[in-house]
Amino acid sequence: MTTITKLESKVKELSKLLGALKELNAAIDLQDISQGILDQMVMISEAKGALLWVLEKEKNLIVAKASYGIPIDSLPKQTLSDGEGIVGKVMMTGKAELITDTESVIDSSVAYPSLATTILTVPLQAKGQVLGAIQLMDKENGSHFDTRDRELAVILAEQSALAMYNSQMYDELYKMFVSMIRMLAEALDARDPLTKGHSERVARYAWLIGKRMKLDDQMCFELYQAAILHDIGKIGIEDRILRKSTGLTESEYELMKTHTEIGARILSAIQPNRFFQKSIDTAMLHHERMDGSGYPKQLKGEEIPLFARIVGVADAFDAMTTDRTYSEGMSVRDAAAELIRCKGSLFDTDIVDIFIEILENCSYDLRLFPNTDDM
Ligand code: SIN
Ligand code: FE
């Protein structure tokens, strides 16, 4: 090869590499990233087949997450124990392995030894952690992988691993975030056993109303979050009022009402604030009523934000249908009739209509109420 054509092929390689990396960094879902990494790796290495293995830290297993040229479910082994096979070895040492004579190697992680004659295994590592490995099998043009292929694969793997690291980190942070919200709701349940489970149920009802209103997934999730935290301010209400099993006196009720402002104040502490603005407003305004008879601001109609109007309906319904020590829960049909009686005056008419439709769909049986599992 002349120097010019060498240079040209190098530039072509590099621009392919850059294009590949740009695409990877735009993705955030781990499955998308895994498949993306593998596809780019195949394109650049011109491999016939490829596998991407990911270490699942919690289970201490190495799992095949993506493949090219061979379906994952046709692999003899889709999971490896830590340290098993070439993949395990490469992940342990952090060094790429190029096997040019597969006949001589008996390895449980070789996907299709009958087909592959050369296998290049490179580690995926970022920030000092090994996250997985990629295996490339045979070249499309029949030639063998060489040390230049290995070098290129190692570079691409290093950059890809960073995208994977970010995605895993994002997943973990998201899980942590959701569980922190649940934890807050549980902290309230622990203070207030009379209404245990109330926050979770209200959140479920509100979420379903949002779905029926065709709010997008992100909005529905924010609605769920706002609803599960709507009464969080009750954490700041003293036990003698919070846990009182008989009706409250007027002055006690005035104190109870402050749970709205306390809730808004507690949630204002979370940063970044803009992610919680709707939750803050919902904690503050879920007792506002359409005719202005609610509290704490006596807002009317659409002055009350949508989420607060939705949670207002879900909250009233759950309060009516669950047993309190001082009152037995109403039947679902009676509670529905009460919502209908008060629609337009206390509750948003459209929201009540949607909720009644949902109740009809589950034949007024709360055990048939859809779950939020697919959130
Ligand atoms: C509640 O927030 O559920 C109790 C206060 C009220 O009934 O207004
Ligand atoms: Fe409340």
The structural domains of the chain, with segments of one domain joined by +, span 30-169, 190-368
CB of 287 shorter than 6 A to ligand 1: yes
- Of the candidates 231, 163, 164, 182, the one whose C-alpha atom is nearest the C-alpha of residue 375 is 182
Ligand 1 probe mutation, 237, 245, 256, most atoms within 8 A of CB: 256
Percentage of the chain lying above the pLDDT 90 cut: 52
Ligand 1 probe mutation, 205, 250, 259, most atoms within 8 A of CB: 259
List alpha helices for the chain, DSSP H. Answer: 3-26, 30-45, 85-93, 147-191, 198-212, 217-228, 239-242, 250-257, 259-268, 277-285, 306-321, 332-341, 349-361
Which atom of ligand 1 is nearest to 295's Cα?
8
Cα–ligand 1 centroid distance for 257 (angstroms): 7
Residue ranges in the chain whose pLDDT is less than 50 = 108, 111-113
Task: Characterise 122 by phi-psi region: left (phi > 0), alpha (psi -120 to 50), beta (else).
Answer: beta
Other C-beta atoms within 10 Å of 46: how many?
14
Cα–ligand 1 centroid distance for 102 (angstroms): 71
Give pTM, 2 decimals: 0.74
CB of 235 shorter than 6 A to ligand 1: no
Cα–ligand 1 centroid distance for 147 (angstroms): 71
Q: For position 96, what pLDDT does the model report?
A: 94
CB of 256 shorter than 6 A to ligand 1: yes
Ligand 1 probe mutation, 242, 261, 287, most atoms within 8 A of CB: 287
Protein residue with least CA distance to atom 6, ligand 1: 257
Which atom of ligand 1 is nearest to 260's Cα?
2
Cα–ligand 1 centroid distance for 264 (angstroms): 15
Kindly provide the b/e burial profile for residues 207-243, where b requires at least 16 CB atoms within 10 angstroms of the residue's own CB: bbbbbeeebeeebbbbbbbbbbbbbbbbbbbeeebbe
Cα–ligand 2 centroid distance for 178 (angstroms): 21
The class that CATH gives domain 30-169 is: alpha beta
CB of 288 shorter than 6 A to ligand 1: no
Q: Nearest 5°: phi and psi at 280?
A: -60, -50
Cα–ligand 2 centroid distance for 179 (angstroms): 22
**Tokens coding 259:** 């749970």
Specify whether the CB–CB gap between 121 and 93 falls below 8 A.
Answer: no
Task: Please tell me the number of the ligand nearest to residue 316's CA.
Answer: 1
> How do strand 119-126 and strand 47-56 relate by DSSP bridges?
unpaired
CB of 65 shorter than 6 A to ligand 1: no
How large is the greatest C-alpha to C-alpha distance in the chain, in angstroms?
A: 94
Specify whether the CB–CB gap between 339 and 281 falls below 8 A.
Answer: no
**Tokens coding 309:** 């109007």
Cα–ligand 1 centroid distance for 14 (angstroms): 63
Q: What CA–CA distance (Å, rounded) separates 99 from 62?
A: 20
Specify whether the CB–CB gap between 355 and 313 falls below 8 A.
Answer: yes
> How do strand 79-81 and strand 129-139 relate by DSSP bridges?
unpaired
Which atom of ligand 1 is nearest to 195's Cα?
3
Amino acid at 308: A
Q: For position 30, what pLDDT does the model report?
A: 78
> How do strand 47-56 and strand 61-68 relate by DSSP bridges?
antiparallel
Q: For position 295, what pLDDT does the model report?
A: 97
Cα–ligand 1 centroid distance for 267 (angstroms): 18
Look up residue 230 and give its DSSP letter: T
CB of 231 shorter than 6 A to ligand 1: yes
Cα–ligand 1 centroid distance for 316 (angstroms): 9
Q: Is 103 helix (H, G, I), strand (E, B) or coil?
A: helix
Return the CATH architecture of domain 190-368: Orthogonal Bundle (1.10)
Q: For position 113, what pLDDT does the model report?
A: 47
Integer-rounded Cα radius of gyration of the chain = 29
